[in-house]
Amino acid sequence: MSTSHLSTEQTRFIDDLAGLLGAWNMPTNAARLYGYLQLMNAPVSLEEIARDLQISRSHAHTAARVLESHGNARGVPSRGSRRILYVCGEDPGAPLRPQVATLERMSQLIARRGPDVAKDEAAARLARLASFHHELHEAMGVVVRSESDLNT
């Protein structure tokens, strides 16, 4: 494996960010690639990713696919080649939007069906939970609005 072109401080930043993303169950290589792409000013190849993160090309490819599937990265065709280069996702809210939508669906389900399945203290707990999920949905929705929502 070739020597990384990252500074010690860049590597430390990538690893520290990856450690935090691990709390969200993001795979280590995907989390490291996420941090790496945030630092890059130009699209990077799988070979560059593998070299700089000191992982195999196949692990770099798998990590890139994970990030692409959640909107955290994007593959860019390389002109005149079949090679794909990678950049960080342009919309930091994209990976969170499905979770925000799920919060509202959970709120609605709990509010609608909770009274039918629980009584007394459990019913009150479900009502608080439905309210919490709704409020969290509303608050997060303000932050993760899409670009098209911001322009209307």
Q: What is the pLDDT of residues 87-118, one digit of tens each?
A: 999 888 888 888 899 999 999 999 999 999 99
- Is the pLDDT at 150 greater than 90? The verdict is no
Q: What's the pLDDT score for residue 31?
A: 97
CATH architecture of 8-88: Orthogonal Bundle (1.10)
- Total-model pTM: 0.80
35-68 pLDDT, tens per residue? 999 999 999 999 999 999 999 999 999 999 999 9
Phi-psi region of 22 (alpha: psi -120 to 50; beta: other; left: phi over 0): alpha
Average pLDDT over the chain, rounded to whole? 92
Do residues 1 and 50 lie in contact, with contact meaning Cβ atoms separated by under 8 Å?
Answer: yes
Average pLDDT on 70-76 reads: 95
- Is the pLDDT at 146 greater than 70? The verdict is no
